[in-house]
Amino acid sequence: QVQLVESGGGLVQAGGSLRLSCTASGSIFRNNAMYWYRQAPGKQRELVALITSSSSTNYVDSVKGRFTISRNNAKNTVYLQMNSLKPEDTAVYYCNTELGRLSGSWGQGTQVTVSS
């Protein structure tokens, strides 16, 4: 069983930056791909970024060049560095594992609000 806790969200003005963290308890962290999703008001949950166990990464086009996903296996933590934030980035951000997203298991997320 893996428990994930997201943190680092907050209120920021457009053009600002935030760094989100996702810490996993227990589990075999190093061998799992990790994912960041977000859900904006009135919209479906959207895949934002992923990082594999070998540290390959991929991003949705709307954040490419602005967001960076990384991981620190020793700390059981995945990060999402968000730069040049836009109001359209406003959402609740969730991290998850492969098994978690397939089984529909989600944590509490962390709120990111970007003002104009």
Given a cut of 80, whether residue 55 has pLDDT beyond it is yes
With cut-offs at 50, 70 and 90, classify the pLDDT of residue 26. Answer: low
CA 47 remoteness from chain centre: 9
Q: What is the pLDDT of residue 28?
A: 53
pLDDT, tens only, 68-87: 999 998 888 999 999 999 99
Average pLDDT over the chain, rounded to whole?
93
Q: What is the pLDDT of residue 1?
A: 64
Given a cut of 80, whether residue 29 has pLDDT beyond it is no
Distance CA 23, CA 37 (A): 15
Other Cβ atoms closer than 10 A to 46: 14
Distance CA 3, CA 18 (A): 23
